Amino acid sequence: MKNKLMYLNTLVLAVAILFGTMSCKKDNPTAFTLKALDAGSVDLNGAISASTVLTHPTIIAIFYTNVDATTANNSNITLTRDYDNVDVPLTITSSLSSINIVPDESLASGALYKLSFGAGLKSADGQALTPLSRTFTTIGTFAPSGAVAYWNFENNTKDQAGTNNASASVAISYTDSRNASAGKAATFNGTTSIIEIPNGDLLMNTQDFTLSFWAKPVNSGKGHFIIGLAAFYGFQFELAGDFTNFKMPVQFDYGDGTSGTGGDLAYNGDGKTKDNGGWKGTTFNKENAALSSVLKEKWFHITYVYNSTTKERMMYLNGELVVKQDHNLWTNDAGEPTKEAGIVGLKYAGVAPETVNELAFGFIQSRAGTLWDLEGWGGYDLPGANHFQGQLDDVRIYHNTLTAAEIDLMYKSEKP
């Protein structure tokens, strides 16, 4: 009887210890803290902010305990671009103790981002996370995300952002670009060199538009047609032979079934605006009496922007705004708005065989177009034509308006 009583007491004690242990475990669950954070092979949870993250990463966060999947969402997890403080849309999924975070769009290259986890994120047993954040920089030099086409001319004419690969490349060589990080550039001989991109009309039929590129012209004694899509029936960038001015005619959609150039957007550094004897639609014009010294046989960066909301077109040189025009200010002699005030975007207006919808690098249009064939400066086969001679690199096209901050960062990141 005594042994049986001892046995029962021992059993009761064991059960008490067991329940006590279980109770302690329940009262002291594993802390809900971050164990690891990686973007591919890059550690985002280190003491130093990572700087080699790809522009299309899958980020995996692992915690010391399981996650409440219902709280792993965009309200509790954010990825913010530093340069404009905009949150990147994310696709977020969770399983057990891990969370997968995938940006819905390619990230800007060479840009700083902050990944934040808020207190609303909880563990499976209801613990709230102590808010935390980690920063990282994407690989490469800075360029805003969202380009619809990008040619970097790294020994090829492939579109790095889409499918707009060249259909023809004539007499192009690839030489060292403006710095080591820029790699190679396409080099044009000034007589026959040309690169042709099919379906160029699709690259400009848009409401908002940005064209960005680097060029280094040679003093050839004649003008340079650096880029052209059916000349002014699409768009063209032209540099004067004496390097004192450049211009970019663009075909605009007037919103009534017709189109036109809205006048050339030209820059010569004279500083004239609507307020000091310049064109009535010019609201800004930077004075630069030494413009030729900036352009002649030197690398320069051009960005052209059209904003369909404000109806403004702008040109930036080396990251700085140099000329701006407002189509809302276009009026006739009676002070009435002209058709330019109705512009809704860009519109390709070329008609074959005079012009063909092929974007050309190195000339004003592709070889298939017959426009200006007999003009000494405009016929592709004529020796005196304004073929581009020099180097061209990092041509980007966007169907949105890059901001002044983005353009400035892009220039400073990529400059020689």
The per-residue pLDDT for range 87-145, each reduced to its tens digit, is: 999 999 999 999 999 999 999 999 999 999 999 999 999 999 999 999 999 999 999 99
**Residue 276: Cβ within 10 Å count:** 10
Token pair, residue 238, equals 């032209």
Burial classification of residue 188, based on how many CB atoms lie within 10 Å of its CB (0-12 exposed, 13-18 middle, 19 or more buried): buried
H-only helix segments in 115-260: none
Q: Quick one: CA dihedral 171, 182, 142, 298, positive or negative?
A: negative
For residue 46, give Cα distances in angstroms to 43, 49, 113.
6, 7, 15
Is residue 340 over pLDDT 70?
A: yes
Is residue 338 over pLDDT 80?
A: yes
pLDDT score for 135 = 98
Q: Domains, the chain, ranges and CATH?
A: 34-138 (2.60.40.1220), 149-414 (2.60.120.200)
The per-residue pLDDT for range 187-223, each reduced to its tens digit, is: 999 999 999 999 999 999 999 999 999 999 999 999 9
Burial classification of residue 181, based on how many CB atoms lie within 10 Å of its CB (0-12 exposed, 13-18 middle, 19 or more buried): exposed
Is residue 244 over pLDDT 60?
A: yes
| 307 touches 401 (CB < 8 A) | yes
Determine the Cα–Cα distance for residues 112 and 50; give it in Å rounded to an integer: 10
Average model confidence (pLDDT) for the chain?
93
pLDDT-based confidence at residue 29 (cuts at 50, 70, 90): confident
Burial 94-119 (b: 16+ CB within 10 A, else e): beebbbebebeebbbbbbbbbbebbe
pLDDT-based confidence at residue 27 (cuts at 50, 70, 90): low
Determine the Cα–Cα distance for residues 63 and 98; give it in Å rounded to an integer: 6
